[in-house]
Amino acid sequence: MAAVQWRTRWRKYESELQRCRPEALPIEFGDYHPLKPILVTDTKTRRGVRKGSTSSSSSSSSSVPPDPLSSMLDGTDPLSMFAASASETSTVSRGGSTVDLGKKKKEEEVVGADFEPWSAKRGEILSRFTTTEKLSINLCMGSDKGKATSPASSAVSEKVRTRLEELDDLEEGSQRELLNLSQQDYANRIEELNQSLKEAWASDQKVKALKIVIQCAKLLSDTAVIQFYPSKFVLITDIMDTFGRLVFDRIWSMCSEPQPLSDTFTCDDVHDTAKETCLNWFFKIASIRELLPRLHPSLHVGMEVAPQLKDCLNTNFFDLLGTFRQLSGESVQNQLVIQRVEMPEYLTLFSPAINWILQCIAYRAPECFVAEFRHEAFRPEFVATRATDFIGMIKECDEAGFPKDYINCAEIWVEFTCRHFTKREVNTVLADMIKHMTPDRAFEDAYPQLQSVIGKILTYFHDFSILFSMERFLPFLDMFQKDSVRVEVCRSIMEVFIRHQVEPTRDPVILNAMLHICKTMHDSVNALTLEDEKRSLSLLIIGFIRMTVNQLAMETRRVMRGNHSRKTAAFVRACAAYSFITIPSLSSIFTRLSLYLLSGQVALANQCLSQGPPRAWRAVLVRGLLNMVQDYTWEDNSDAKVLDSNETLYGGDPKFLSEINKLCETLIGQVLDHLKVLGGEEQTARRQGALAFSLFGVLVAHGDLRNNKLSQLAVNLWNLSHKHGYCDTRLSVRTLEYLKQQAHQPDMSHLSDTVQRLALQSRT
């Protein structure tokens, strides 16, 4: 019985496939996996990392749920317009600076729903920076001499002079100091000032209004109770904003007298009187003696009038960086000691400002802007110096004695660096991080941060040739020494790789690195690994193999136009060998088989079978299959699959048919042996029947039943499967019907004989 001669039936798989099985191979990546949502999460996390900063760079066009904060976007916050205007530069000619009057409308257009507006930040800052200490407000409001405006003198000089004199009055004016205010009192007082500013303005007491603003701005120079400073800043800039808006609205109303201006007007549309008034305001403010009161009102008036000042943000940011070393200076340190504020606490006071600036800079930076950013602002040498500045700063943080914060800081920096710089700088940052995290295995406490660093890098660098050419990237990966984390990281890298590496790659560096990563993932699988986990890991690895190894081979083939030189052939064989070595590590036999199949096809296409030492590796392949069959025959259907795949693999190549036939014989022999074993025991009789039936199916499908022995075998199997009466009658009936149908086809008439010999077990 063991020596059943195998005869292959000629089949046209393609047409058959089209006829009856149009669905694709299950291996189609990402199509069927239950864990698939995991793959999608990346877009979400990316959004989460920095709200409102990614829209232009993200390549996936997932629809984002509208930011709830957008509903709060009511304020005409000049800073956000500031940021937004940066993106408009292409439409605005430099000469005629378009003043953004329809700003509310525009703001909504330009500042999308994903931009976290200042109004939202405002509340956050106010609630975050609080104090229980007593505050004081020191105001010298001058004498409120009820604006006995000199009878409207027409001469500009007089007007200016009187106003300047009034401003000077402040110096000698009555000084009022409010002490021992609680935080709430303070806020109330500021709000009162805000109200009186509006009142003064409404009652045409412009000078008084300006005085209030000046006094408020002066408050900003008071750094007592520094913990409260960010909140104080918010409160006081509110007043400045109010003032800026009042001035702006006044000029706007001046302009709209004959007819309202359109939303997008240029400076040519504004009539001279309005311009003159504008100029007057600026002259007025420019002559304020103190720095802060001069700076802030002009800033806020300026922002209202001409918000197209995107360059300022960059400059602003770098200036801020430039002043960083001041913090270690003596006077700051002394202040901190006096106020008993720790350095880390002090540094957090900067976070809202930095956060906001970066958000504004990064927000929807359009391509041109980014390019400009790179080319103009960041000329190479500039980049170099600044990069070291960054690093320097980070180092400084470290030296200040809080390494815990170092990594948090670095985590943020990485994103900035990734976004705006090239790999060189990122590499530098990574190197520095490695340097800092390695001593005392500090990285052990910072896995989440390090992981997010990787995540950020992956978000911005999709080109793996760049990624891996950073010489510090892999060493950085080496810091992940806890297995679970390491695998997690590898997995995320792999995911990005599979998603973004569209072109098959031939870069040895990438391949090598990816192999390394695959290996890590593979090594992580152990007896305790969950099935699910294994599956997702294998999916990733398979993805890689599909993407690279096989495609690599095919690519080579294409390049060589089908005719391999010795060199390329060797290479392709190496690829194939790699596949066959890697594949057995997979746990899911189906994916493994499919992969085998795929790899086999590629190898075939590359004529590997007929070249080189074919026996050796063919043997490996087939042996592998056999082993598997041996291992898994007791799993339903697997034998059928093996046969199927084997067929597909060698199907078209007559040269190997005989050998395969031989193999199949062995196979069938094994299956039959197995059947016998199964038959020996009562309990397994049912399984025996089922197996016999499926083998029958295979025989009918693939075997050439014109051969007597085969057909006899088939009949035997049929009988066997029905012997114990466990067989599903309906299935049998259907099979018979199918066979009969097949028998009607031209070259299948021999089937009818067989069919006749198959007796349906009568139902008793």
Partner 1 sequence: MSVSLDIRLKRANKVYHEGEVLSGVVVLQCKEPLPHHGIILNMEGLVNLQLSSKSVGVFEAFYNSVKPIPLLSSSIEVARSGKIPGGKTEIPFEFPLQAKGNKVLYETYHGVFVNIQYTLRCDVKRPLLAKDLSRTCEFIVHCQPQKAKVSPSPVSFSITPDTLQNSREKETLPKFLIRGHLDATSCVMSQPLSGEVVVEHSDIPVKSIELQLVRVETCGCAEGYARDATEIQNIQIAEGDVCHALSIPIYMVFPRLFTCPTLETTNFKVEFEVNIVIVLQDDHLITENFPSNCAESEQTQDR
Window of 129-137, 327-335, 517-525, 573-581 that interacts with partner 1 by CB under 8 A: 327-335
Beta-carbon count within 10 A of 474 CB? 15
Indicate the helix (H) or strand (E) that contains 180.
Answer: strand 175-181
Binding to partner 1 in span 174-203, by CB under 8 A: none
Q: Which is nearer to partner 1, 322 or 584 (CB)?
A: 322
Write the single-letter amino acid at 251.
I
Write down the least CB distance from residue 275 to partner 1, Å: 7
Q: Binders of partner 1: how many residues, by CB under 8 A?
A: 30
**Smallest distance from partner 1 to CB 302, Å:** 13
Smallest separation (angstroms) from partner 1 to the CB of 388: 16
For the chain, how big is the Rg over CA atoms in Å? Answer: 39
Helix (H, G, I), strand (E, B) or coil at 703: strand
| CB of residue 267 to partner 1, shortest distance in Å | 12
Q: Based on CB atoms, which residue is closest to partner 1, 295 or 485?
A: 295
Only segment of 257-265, 320-328, 430-438, 598-606 that touches partner 1 (CB under 8 A):
320-328
- Shortest Cβ 505–partner 1 spacing (Å): 47
Distance CA 167, CA 173 (A): 10
User: Which of 65, 329 has the CB closer to partner 1?
Assistant: 329
Q: DSSP for 394-416? A: HHHHHHTT-HHHHHHHHHHHHHH
For the segment 58-87, give every residue that binds partner 1 (CB under 8 A): none
Distance CA 84, CA 70 (A): 15
Distance of CA 665 to the CA centre of its chain: 53
Q: Are 6 and 710 in contact (CB under 8 A)?
A: yes
Nearer to partner 1, 32 or 283 (CB): 283
DSSP string computed for 110-172:
HS-TTS--HHHHHHHHHHHS---S-EEEEEE-----TT---TT---HHHHHHHHHHHHHHHHH
Least distance to partner 1 from the beta carbon of 443, Å?
34
| Measured distance CA(610)–CA(604) in Å, rounded | 9
When asked if residue 331 is in the footprint of partner 1 (CB under 8 A), the reply is yes
**In the bound complex, what is the minimum distance in angstroms from residue 491's beta carbon to partner 1?**
46
Least CB distance from residue 154 to partner 1, whole Å? 5
Q: How far is the CB of 206 from partner 1 (least distance, A)?
A: 18
Q: Terminus-to-terminus CA distance in the chain, angstroms?
A: 31
Q: Which of residues 271 and 734 has its CB atom nearest to partner 1 in the complex? A: 271
User: Which CB atom, from 39 or from 255, has the smaller least distance to partner 1?
Assistant: 255
Q: What's the closest the beta carbon of residue 419 comes to partner 1, in angstroms?
A: 26
Tokens of 284: 């007025």
Cβ of residue 330: shortest distance to partner 1, in angstroms?
7
Q: What are the two backbone dihedrals, phi and then psi, of residue 401, each rounded to the nearest 5 degrees?
A: 95, 30
| Segment interacting with partner 1, rule: CB under 8 A, options 18-26, 321-329, 577-585, 588-596 | 321-329
Say whether residue 93 binds partner 1 (CB under 8 A): no
Q: Answer yes or no whether residue 325 interacts with partner 1 by CB under 8 A.
A: yes
Closer CB to partner 1, residue 35 or residue 286? 286
The contacts of residue 97 (CB under 8 Å, 6+ apart) are: 266, 267, 306, 308
Q: CB nearer to partner 1: give 277 or 408.
A: 277
Shortest approach of partner 1 to residue 276 CB, angstroms?
4
- What kind and span of H or E run contains 179? strand 175-181
Nearest in space to 228 (alpha carbons), one of 290, 182, 180: 182
Between the alpha carbon of residue 729 and those of residues 158, 616, 675, the distances in Å are: 112, 46, 20
Residue 320 or 570 having the CB closest to partner 1: 320
Measured from the CB atom, the residue of 157 and 683 that comes closer to partner 1 is: 157
| Beta carbon nearer to partner 1, 155 or 528 | 155
Piece of 243-251, 301-309, 323-331, 703-711 that binds partner 1 (CB under 8 A): 323-331
- Angle at the Cα of 192 from the Cα atoms of 189 and 196, rounded to 5 degrees: 140
Span 540-599, contacts to partner 1 by CB under 8 A:
none
Question: 175-181 and 264-265 as β-strands: parallel, antiparallel, unpaired?
Answer: unpaired
Among 169-177, 187-195, 319-327, 691-699, which window interacts with partner 1 (CB under 8 A)?
Answer: 319-327
By CB under 8 A, the residues from 239 to 298 that bind partner 1 are: 271-273, 275-276, 279, 282-283, 286-292, 294
Q: Is the Cβ of residue 47 or residue 296 nearer to partner 1 in the bound state? A: 296
Cα separation of 556 and 562, whole Å?
9
In whole angstroms, the minimum distance from the beta carbon of 274 to partner 1 comes to 8
Q: Which of residues 127-166 bind partner 1 (CB under 8 A)?
A: 154-157, 160-161
Tell me the closest approach of the beta carbon of residue 164 to partner 1, in angstroms.
Answer: 8
The residue (of 130 and 221) whose beta carbon lies closer to partner 1 is: 221
Are 217 and 296 in contact by the 8 Å Cβ rule? The answer is: yes
Beta bridge partners of 140: 175
Q: Which is nearer to partner 1, 91 or 326 (CB)?
A: 326
Of 32-61, which residues contact partner 1 (CB under 8 A)? none
Smallest separation (angstroms) from partner 1 to the CB of 170: 14
We find the least distance from the C-beta atom of residue 578 to partner 1, in angstroms, to be: 58
Site string for partner 1, 346-375 (x = CB under 8 A): ------------------------------
- Cβ partners under 8 Å of residue 47, min gap 6: 54, 58, 64, 114
Structure tokens at 563: 């005719």
Among positions 18, 60, 90, 221, the unique one binding partner 1 when judged by CB under 8 A: 221
Comparing CB distances to partner 1, the nearer of 322 and 448 is 322
Are 607 and 553 a contacting pair, CB within 8 Å?
no
Say if residues 544 and 537 touch (Cβ distance below 8 Å): no
- In this structure, are strands 175-181 and 135-140 parallel, antiparallel, or unpaired? antiparallel
User: Which of 26, 66, 260, 329 touches partner 1 (CB under 8 A)?
Assistant: 329
Residue (14 or 272) nearer to partner 1, CB: 272
Pick from 499, 126, 599: which is nearest to 608 by CA?
Answer: 599
Both tokens assigned to 672: 């039959």
Q: How far is the CB of 291 from partner 1 (least distance, A)?
A: 4
Collapse the DSSP code of 176 into the 3-class scheme (helix H, G, I; strand E, B; otherwise coil) and give the result. Answer: strand
Question: How many Å apart are CA 669 and CA 632, to the nearest integer?
Answer: 15
Residues 6+ apart with CB under 8 A from 168: none
Interface positions, 447-476, toward partner 1 (CB under 8 A): none
By beta-carbon proximity to partner 1, the closer residue of 127 and 331 is 331
Q: Which of residues 411-430 bind partner 1 (CB under 8 A)?
A: none
- C-alpha 756/C-alpha 759 separation (Å) is 7
Give me the residues that bind partner 1 (CB under 8 A), please: 154-157, 160-161, 221, 271-273, 275-276, 279, 282-283, 286-292, 294, 322-323, 325-326, 329-331
